[in-house]
Amino acid sequence: MKKITIAIDGFSSCGKSTMAKDLAHEIGYIYIDSGAMYRAVTLYSIKNGIFQDDRIDTEKLKKLIDDIHISFRLNPETGRPDTYLNGVNVEDKIRTMEVSSRVSPIATLDFVRKAMVAQQQEMGKAKGIVMDGRDIGTTVFPDAELKIFVTATPEIRAQRRYDELKAKGEEACFDEILENVKQRDYIDQNREVSPLRKADDALLLDNSHMTILQQKEWLAEQFKRVTESK
């Protein structure tokens, strides 16, 4: 069976990453979490003094961007890929609220997006990949054979994020998370470079009231439909 490229875009905390990871695992494809790449750049910026209070030292980041290398390696315990920043596993560190609250401004920078898109396109040359993010179907892989756009209400997405943080034993405030979700939505949709939008040929999936099993069945059906028609 000929391998294809699968692009999954959508709003933050829609469960895109879990959905994409599970699908990739089930069909034997490589999963690439583009959002984790921007989170890794954000973590790097926090650790290297690029954030001056709420201001980003863009000139400093621009000089260092070529030194930021992101890769993914399969975790034998979880069966899923972990994110590595310059060879160091940062999977847990990039999921904190500190990173979540700062990732959108980093992701709006044109030179950051250019660098990440170049890395993503290099990863996807051989096809047989599932990648999720904000601009995969519109910018990174406009010719992807299967495009999905995922959405859910802000309240449901905030609750999912809240539950995820509490399950990890981290402190979490629902109202703070909800505000962060809404802020990220606004920034993602209104940035000048590669704003979040549904590609014309993408399938819309509103998973507000869907179980994970229902989502898996729906995705499997779409994958089967596209690959069998090739």
- Binding-site members for ATP are 10-18
Binding residues, by number, are 10-18
How far, in Å, CA of 129 to CA of 43, rounded? 25
Largest CA distance in the chain: 53
C-alpha closest to that of 79 among 123, 32, 37, 25:
25
**Helix axes 212-228 and 16-27, enclosed angle (nearest 10):** 50
C-alpha closest to that of 34 among 44, 23, 47, 21:
21
C-alpha closest to that of 113 among 170, 176, 166, 192:
192
Q: What are the backbone angles phi and psi of residue 132, rounded to the nearest 5°?
A: -120, 155
